[in-house]
Structure 1
Amino acid sequence: MLTAAQVLAVNNFGDTRSGGLAGPMGLFLILLLAAATVFLIRNMNGRLRRLPDRFPGQAPEEQADGAQPRAADDVRG
């Protein structure tokens, strides 16, 4: 009769040492993700460089002292 420990100790996953594909496949996926990240960052930087400094209708830049300019209709008591 099998005890609970013997039932749990049975290897039902087959031979875990044959093949050995997990290591190289993991390295391939890491390199693939790293390359994709580099290409995405380069693409994003290129798009940001092509943006204009100001867009039409954009609010004026901050004042020299760092305070935001107040609109005339923004009156709070």
Structure 2
Amino acid sequence: MIELLADNNFGDTRDGGLAGPTGLLIIVLLVIGTVLLIRNMNSRLRKLPDSFEPSDVPVSPAIPPVTPPGQDKPQP
């Protein structure tokens, strides 16, 4: 009974092993993709201004302005 359980019915597992080269190819492709994404993000971040000035766009009337606690609400 133990010999039946210990028998290798899966064939020769070392024949035609492509797991190593395939895994290496996937890892290399992921590294290349990551490097390209990082370079793209860096170039986009360099194009941004150092600071963003507040725009003169009016605040939406649907959202009331936030007042700090202890102050009176602004008059409309």
Q: Same fold (TM over 0.5)?
A: yes
Q: Which runs of structure 2 are paired with 1:1-77 in the superposition (5 Å)?
A: 3=1, 5-57=2-54, 73-75=67-69
Cα deviation code 1:30-64 (max 9, x no counterpart) = 11111111001001111111112222428xxxxxx
Please, which runs of 5 or more residues in structure 1 have no aligned partner? 59-72
> What RMSD in Å do the two structures reach over aligned CA positions?
2.3
Moved more, 6-15 or 16-25: 6-15
State how many pairs are aligned. Answer: 60
Name the structure, 1 or 2, with higher relative contact order (CA <8 Å, separation 6+).
1
Q: Percent identity?
A: 59
Give the alignment's TM-score, normalised by structure 1. 0.61
Deviations 1:56-76 (A, max 9, x none): 428xxxxxxxxxxxxxx3245
Gaps of 5+ in 2: 56-66, 71-76
2:74 aligned partner: none
TM-score (norm 2): 0.61
> What stretches of structure 1 move > 6 A for 4+ residues in a row?
none
